[in-house]
Amino acid sequence: MSARRPFDSLQFAKSGESLKGTLRVEELPRLSDSLRPEDVAVQYRLDGVLASGRPALRLKVEARVWLTCQLCMSLYPEMLSLDTVLPVARNEAELARWESLDPMLDALVADPGLDVAVLVEDEILLAIPLVPMHPEGECDPAGLALVGKN
């Protein structure tokens, strides 16, 4: 199954199907500032599974994103390895019922035209730190010097 061909998310979840592939930078426009063409692609795998008795999508993503450290203002690569399970509700009412039982539940409403690239892009955007920073001690000294002058 092609990642660019939309498909029914609920049927996919119930069927236990699997889909894996790569997405190129140009297929993820909302990440254009965080991805580089030389990084080639984002790897993903999508499986239909049962989670707590509910049909769900299990999405695994491997990606390298480029972020600006908010301490030294220099770019650095951040490796993301995501493994997310998203239950798929038949409709808004079912989703509301699930959320009333578990307010922390991260779930989707069934989409007859799910686009895997959009789903992958959404999950990467949610995984990017709100305040990106190098690991301690790895900031660019030149960047720190410039920031300290302001």
Question: What is the average pLDDT score of the chain?
Answer: 88
Whether 69 has a pLDDT exceeding 70, the answer reads: yes
Q: Where are the domains of the chain?
A: 9-149
DSSP line for 102-135 = -TT---EE--TTB-HHHHHHHHHHHHS-SS--PS
Tell me the mean pLDDT in the region 106-114.
95
Q: Answer yes or no: is pLDDT of 68 > 50.
A: yes
Q: 42, 120 in Cβ contact below 8 A?
A: yes
pLDDT of residue 2: 43
144 pLDDT tier (thresholds 50, 70, 90): low
Task: Work out whether strand 108-109 and strand 75-89 pair parallel, antiparallel, or are unpaired.
Answer: parallel
* pLDDT tens by residue, 9-65: 999 999 999 999 999 888 889 988 787 766 657 999 999 999 989 999 999 999 998
Per-residue pLDDT at 75 exceeds 80: yes
* pTM for this model (two decimals): 0.84
